[in-house]
Amino acid sequence: MDKAALKRFAKGGDDGKRSDLPQKKKLNAEERKALAKLKFEAKKRGATLHNGGEGGLPPSLVWHILRRDKFECKACGTNKDLTLHHKGGIVGSKWLSKQGHKTTPENLVVLCNSCHSKMHEEAREEGVDSSQVLPEGDKGDPRRDHGQPDAQPKK
């Protein structure tokens, strides 16, 4: 994949949408309540969310991860423009490769959008980003398995 295509992929294509992620689903009552709590607590803490808390993951999970990480970017400490990062999306070890894009608390961390972008940019330079290699945990997932070579994680 050339650099221009890689940038389009990272940004979600030409239309600005992430085609590799499921489209927004209607939330049930419990998840709507969790989304309201998430937004309320973010506002109370002075935090801002990159996508308003509506990025496709269950709001109850997002709220749990943000609370665990104290509504702060784990890389730089800011509480502005926060998003969640799948640790296994960057294949730096066998454990990360097995995680892939599993949506579990141990595989998710809070980052600001700037640090998230920098992290993936550096991973692409090293050839360990999931847009270039396939983490073991993503094999067979039609949203993630795009024919990339298998990841060869560091030991």
Q: At what angle do helices 29-45 and 59-68 cross, to 10 degrees?
A: 30
> How far apart (Å, rounded) are the C-alpha atoms in residues 30 and 66?
18
- What single letter denotes the amino acid at residue 87? K
> How far apart (Å, rounded) are the C-alpha atoms in residues 132 and 1?
8
pLDDT at 113: 95
Q: How confident is the model at residue 43 (pLDDT cuts 50, 70, 90)?
A: very high
Q: How confident is the model at residue 23 (pLDDT cuts 50, 70, 90)?
A: low
pLDDT at 19 over 90: no
Closest CA to 7 of 139, 124, 99: 124
- Predicted model pTM: 0.73
pLDDT at 3: 54
Q: What is the pLDDT of residues 132-142, one digit of tens each?
A: 878 888 788 88
Section 134-152 average pLDDT: 78
pLDDT at 131: 79
